[in-house]
Amino acid sequence: MSLTNVTAESKSVSIQGYEGSFHQVAAKEYFGEQVNVIPCATFRDVIKIASDKTLSDGGVMAIENSIAGSILPNYTLLQNNDNLKIVGEIYLPIQQHLLVNPGVKLEDIHEVHSHHMAIQQCMDYLGQRHWKLVDTEDTALSAKHVYQRKSKHIAAVASKLAAELFHLEILVPNIHTQKSNYTRFLILQRSNEVTISEKANKASINFSTDHTKGSLARVLTTIAEEGINLSKLQSMPIAGTNFKYSFHADLEFDTIHQFNTVQQKIDEYTEHIKVFGVYESGQK
């Protein structure tokens, strides 16, 4: 899956994390092996660089995980940004591996380094041994440090791509506890450069109702009556208000006409609607 009429060689996209991270894996899955990534320390930086045409062609940003749930601050970043649109998505299986320098054996390992979430995802395996578990800021950075130190006593938990980039061996593959663990990544492009694909069958929107009794129910009923599948509904507090909420919704449809029709109809029951993007749904 890739953007229409765009070659991978021409793409440079911002990602959160370092080279070898799952964000880079997602970028390669979407754009192809030749895509260039711009590592960013924070998601805010991802948005900032993706918005600037002098720095990038767009961005890749995680939005939810099948185990940990939604990344709520990233919905806020989308809500507060008018320069970017969602043009695609990738559902990436998160596969964690035990990485070591070449020749290192299990009995050589004293410490295992990785991001705290990766360590938690692999605790059933890691907890069986008396290794010191060290939290770091990034899985791929942990792999890089193992490579740089040339230590036979330190291992990392990270991706297959990190192993390839830093010339490490996968000593034990797939050590994550939950074998069905997916992260959904959004593909972002500047609004003035977006052309909606003829294959588009999904839209991400944010809306708020007038908070009268039954207004949200009327919106949801209208969506259902138009034959549109509501695949996600996420409430978000509205900053500066007392317990008022907006709603992020992912809508799946057969034709663009369906989406345009439902958008017009729910306008009657909402105070605002913002379309984050209309795009082709990713394969789960």
The domain spanning residue 32 has which CATH number?
3.40.190.10
Whether the Cβ atoms of residue 181 and residue 64 lie closer than 8 Å to each other: no
CA distance 166 to 172: 16
User: In this predicted structure, what is the pLDDT of residue 13?
Assistant: 98
pLDDT at 161: 97
What pLDDT score does 239 carry? 82
185 and 58 within one domain: yes
**Do 52 and 186 reside in the same domain of the chain?**
yes
Domain shared by 16 and 89, yes or no: yes
pLDDT at 9: 54
Say if residue 189 is in the same domain as residue 56: yes
139 and 17 both lie in a single domain:
no
Predicted pLDDT of residue 4: 38
Distance of alpha carbon 114 from alpha carbon 137, whole angstroms = 7
Per-residue pLDDT of the chain (284 residues; tens, 9 = 90+): 334 334 445 799 999 999 999 999 999 999 999 999 999 999 999 999 999 999 999 999 999 999 889 999 999 999 999 999 999 999 999 999 999 999 999 999 999 999 999 999 999 999 999 999 999 999 999 999 999 999 999 999 999 999 999 999 999 999 999 989 999 999 999 999 999 988 999 999 999 997 788 899 999 999 999 999 999 999 998 888 888 889 999 999 999 999 999 999 999 899 999 999 999 999 87
Q: What are residue 117's phi and psi, to 5 degrees?
A: -70, -40
In a domain, 2, yes or no: no
DSSP 174: -
Residues 87 and 187 in one domain: yes
51 belongs to a structural domain: yes
CB 38 within 8 A of CB 13: yes
Query: Do 104 and 223 sit in the same domain of this protein?
Result: no
The domain total for the chain is: 3
Instruction: Give the number of other CB atoms < 10 A from CB of residue 155.
Output: 30
Residues 142 and 269 in one domain: no
Residue 2: what pLDDT? 39
If asked whether residues 265 and 215 sit together in one domain, one would say yes
What pLDDT, on a 0 to 100 scale, did the predictor assign at position 226?
A: 95
Containing domain of residue 104, as a range? 97-172
Whether 1 is covered by a domain: the verdict is no
Please choose, from the candidates 178, 21, 16, 170, the residue with its C-alpha nearest in 3D space to the C-alpha of residue 97. Answer: 170
